[in-house]
Structure 1
Amino acid sequence: MKDTFKHKGLRQQLVGIVKDKGITDEKVLKAIGKIPRHLFMDSSFLDHAYQDKAFPIAADQTISQPYTVAFQTELMQVKPGDNVLEIGTGSGYQTAVLCELGAKVFSIERQLELFKITSKFLPKLGYRPKKLIFGDGYKGLVTEAPYDSIIVTAGAPFVPKPLMSQLKVGGRLVIPVGDKVQTMTLFIRKGPKDFEKHEFGEFRFVPLLEDKN
């Protein structure tokens, strides 16, 4: 669990790369610069930790590309104290970014192996989400709704209705929608049945799985 000067230097280079690609939110950049991404990865990938790439983790999943994490987070416009739902805890890296921004994070993971690893690992780094849950992300988490923002960190073939309904009026849902390639999509809830939709180009995610437990 070492975080050396070399790691810190590499992180600052990564912040520069992500900034050059168009991320402007200083709070998001600061979080990327602070979180030891190498600790979220298999030791055989340590040399790659601060490259702007996705890499494999347990259970055939990936740790997302830092730019993608920053892009999705910037779209959420997280404020300290916000109620945030994350669908797909994965490695916990995105969860850590949300915690750094001061959000109250509720995160759902449906891969038991990953859930067990991440729920033990995050507190060791000092990141304590409000709840980490093993379950089906398509259903959201109605007990803690409504949310200021919801982030989906896997490719969804469609937008799950429960997630739309669990968003506050004024809340933001950031979700990659599509099968093999996804379109990053932002929904802003304008009223009980009124949503504004924005699309932000193509990304590639592992698929969002449902009802496999």
Structure 2
Amino acid sequence: MISPRTRGRMVARLRAEGIRDERVLDAMNRVPRHHFVAQALAGRAYEPVSLPIGYGQTISQPWSVARMMEAILQDREVPQRVLEIGTGSAYQTAVLAELGAEVFSMERIGALQETARALLTRLGYRRVHLHHGDGSGGWPEKAPFDAIVITAAVPCALAPLYRQLRAGSSLVMPVEEGEKQHLQVSYWDGSQARVVPLGPCLFVPLLAGTISVVSGECGG
């Protein structure tokens, strides 16, 4: 068992590191992060580090999750419909759901998606919709969205995603420039984006195509 006090210490550290939105802090205090990592790593779940979840992927460190959530909530109510590109462990999916959003989450690795689906169901998250596929093109059938969150590093904002945003919405993502990465949020007014940097980060890269669970091969 991981003590709720351990989760509380994580939240206190996030507050000390500059996370100010109490909605984000409260949501992260409610999500049992240790369920989203392998049992052998559960004791490290609340440390300020990213951890492996298999298939070359990681669960992002708590600060990165908190900062991304804070960015989409900046000076606004909780977005009603959020597209998440890169379900991964589904930890950030759960945080979004705890905030009150209806979450549409895409994952290119089928095995991760199935694990995420089972865990989210077991934990009682109902307003979450998962899709196995290449997230670089978004999920146009479910658009428009009030916010989009990309959980893997991209070289630039992906044009199809802006077309799936409502005016007044936001797109937050890690951007890769050379050997460095930084978080940024783009506030979309329906025709152009105002970009605000959020600080350095480290994420796995966004890869195109989907992975077959059977063959392990990438496809178009």
Q: What is the percent sequence identity of the aligned residues?
A: 40
Alignment equivalent of 1:103, drawn from 101, 104, 125: 101
1:63-142 equivalence runs, <5 A: 63-77=59-73, 79-80=77-78, 82-142=80-140
Contact 2:79–2:146 (CA<8 Å) still a contact in 1?
no
Question: Aligned equivalents of 1:130 and 1:12: distance in 2?
Answer: 25
Alignment equivalent of 2:176, drawn from 151, 170, 178: 178
Shift of 1:183: 1.7
Alignment equivalent of 2:5, drawn from 9, 30, 37: 9
- 2:109 is aligned with what amino acid? Q
Shift of 1:80: 4.7
Contact 1:95–1:105 (CA<8 Å) still a contact in 2?
yes
Give every structure 1 segment of 4 or more consecutive aligned residues whose post-TM-superposition deviation is greater than 6 Å. none
Report Cα offsets for 1:45-70 as digits up to 9, x if no partner.
12101111110002110011011100
Q: Within the alignment, does 1:20 sit opposite 2:16 as a pair?
A: yes
Shift of 1:28: 0.5
Shift of 1:169: 0.5
Q: Within the alignment, does 1:168 sit opposite 2:166 as a pair?
A: yes
Report Cα offsets for 1:116-170 as digits up to 9, x if no partner.
1111111101112441000011010111111110000011122111111111100
Secondary structure of the structure 2 residue equivalent to 1:158: coil
Q: Within the alignment, does 1:61 sit opposite 2:57 as a pair?
A: yes
Secondary structure of the structure 2 residue equivalent to 1:174: strand
CA 47–137 in structure 1, closer or farther in 2 if over 3 Å, else same: same
CA 62–176 in structure 1, closer or farther in 2 if over 3 Å, else same: same
Secondary structure of the structure 2 residue equivalent to 1:118: helix
Question: Aligned equivalents of 2:27 and 2:13: distance in 1?
Answer: 14
Contact 2:79–2:147 (CA<8 Å) still a contact in 1?
no
Alignment TM-score, normalising by the size of structure 2: 0.90
Q: Which deviates more, 94-103 or 111-120?
A: 111-120
Alignment equivalent of 1:42, drawn from 28, 38, 41: 38
Question: Aligned equivalents of 1:137 and 1:117: distance in 2?
Answer: 18
Q: Within the alignment, does 1:52 sit opposite 2:48 as a pair?
A: yes
Alignment TM-score, normalising by the size of structure 1: 0.93
Contact 1:148–1:167 (CA<8 Å) still a contact in 2?
yes
Question: Aligned equivalents of 2:92 and 2:14: distance in 1?
Answer: 15
Cα RMSD, aligned residues only:
1.4
Q: Within the alignment, does 1:29 sit opposite 2:28 as a pair?
A: no
